[in-house]
Structure 1
Amino acid sequence: MTTVAAEIEKLNEAFYTAIESGDLDRMTEIWADDEEGRVALCVHPGWPMLSGRSEVLRSWALIMANTPYIQFVLTDVRTTVIGDVGLLTCAENILTAADTEDATFAAGRVVATNTFVRTSAGWRLWSHHGSPVLQGEDDEEETEE
């Protein structure tokens, strides 16, 4: 792995740590500023696309304020760097507080693409796109065997 790819992966880990700890200040540091021709983009699972740093950060503030507990275990991390852009894909294995009375925790899996851009302040997150992985009965039967 290149030094640049390792730097991007470290920033990616900081991104998920900020979510887990509800650290909006750190989240704000991680996202790139909007510039002409490049604005922050974010797609949360089940949400419409959010465009612009203010809108993206507002969404994270709402998520953090309404999520009492969340933990990410990242797997299948792959990083590609071309010039001043880094593309990282991963699987987010998520454990969170459940909304139901009969369960304390809920688990899920999301595949994510995080695009980073090199700025004058260093590498910053430009785009996050998370897509849920739906598990059907066949998937559940395979894991039970």
Structure 2
Amino acid sequence: MSKAPQKPPSLGGCVDETHANFYEALQTGDIERLMACWADEDEVICVHPGSPRLVGLGAIRAAFDAVFSRGGVRVQAQALRKIESMTSAVHSVRERIDILTDEGSVDAYAIATNVYFKTAQGWRMVAHHVSAGGASEADDISETPHVLH
């Protein structure tokens, strides 16, 4: 008896549901659930640390398939900052990433910017950009610096 394909979870009630589904899909290595978070647009973009910009659902899916084929990724979204309107939202997230090395498990940190639009299908991601953060968790800087550069 063949197993029926699982239907991706219903998304769209609020942007936080899509955000949570994206990070849960990363944790579980569920490519279908992860791709269900993305808008069906030609110009969606994804940038992984140190990688070129991925444009379009095909390129994004291939990159995450490659990540998941190596055993997935353990990412915890922390320190969420949000700017939201009626039809768009920008989430800045500090990600704690558990990386398996030859010496064992090592924590690293990254900063992700996730952009969501409210579409006819509900809230969907249109951009995911991750920058390497470092080996230790850094606090946010919220005061205006005296020197800009």
1:82 aligns with 85
Matched-pair contact (CA < 8 Å) for 2:25–2:33: yes
Q: Which has the higher helix share?
A: 1
Write the distance in 1 (CA, Å) between the matches of 2:34 and 2:118: 17
User: Any unmatched runs of 5+ in structure 2?
Assistant: 1-12, 139-149
TM-score (norm 2): 0.76
What is the identity, as a one-letter code, of the residue corresponding to 2:52? P
Give secondary structure in 2 for the equivalent of 1:133. Answer: strand
Contact 1:115 1:125 (8 Å CA) reproduced: yes
Give how far 1:135 is off: 4.7
Alignment of 1:89-128 (within 5 A): 89-98=92-101, 100=102, 103-128=103-128
CA contact (8 A) 1:69 1:96 kept: no
Aligned-partner Cα distance in 2 for 1:43–1:59 = 10
**TM-score, normalised via structure 1 length:** 0.78
Shift of 1:89: 0.5
Residues 1:62 and 2:69 aligned together: no
1:26: which partner in 2? Answer: 33
Residue identity over aligned pairs, in percent, reads 24
Deviations 1:101-137 (A, max 9, x none): xx2212110000000011111001110000001359x
Q: CA–CA distance in 1 between the matches of 2:14 and 2:104?
A: 36
The alignment covers a number of residue pairs equal to 125
Q: 1:131 to 1:122 in 2, by over 3 A?
A: same
CA distance in structure 2 between the aligned counterparts of 1:57 and 1:130, rounded to whole angstroms: 16
Checking the alignment, whether the CA contact within 8 Å between 1:69 and 1:97 is kept in structure 2 is: no
The match for 1:53 is 57
Amino acid in structure 1 at the alignment position of 2:86: G
> Which segments of 5 or more consecutive residues in structure 1 lack a partner in the other structure?
1-5, 140-145
Q: CA deviation at 1:94?
A: 0.9
Per-residue CA shift, 1:64-109, capped at 9, x if unaligned? 111x2532222210111123111001100111322x2xx2212110
In structure 2, the partner of 1:17 is 24
Whether 1:44 and 2:51 are equivalent positions in the alignment is no
Q: Amino acid of the residue matched to residue 46 of structure 1?
A: G
Q: CA RMSD in A?
A: 1.9
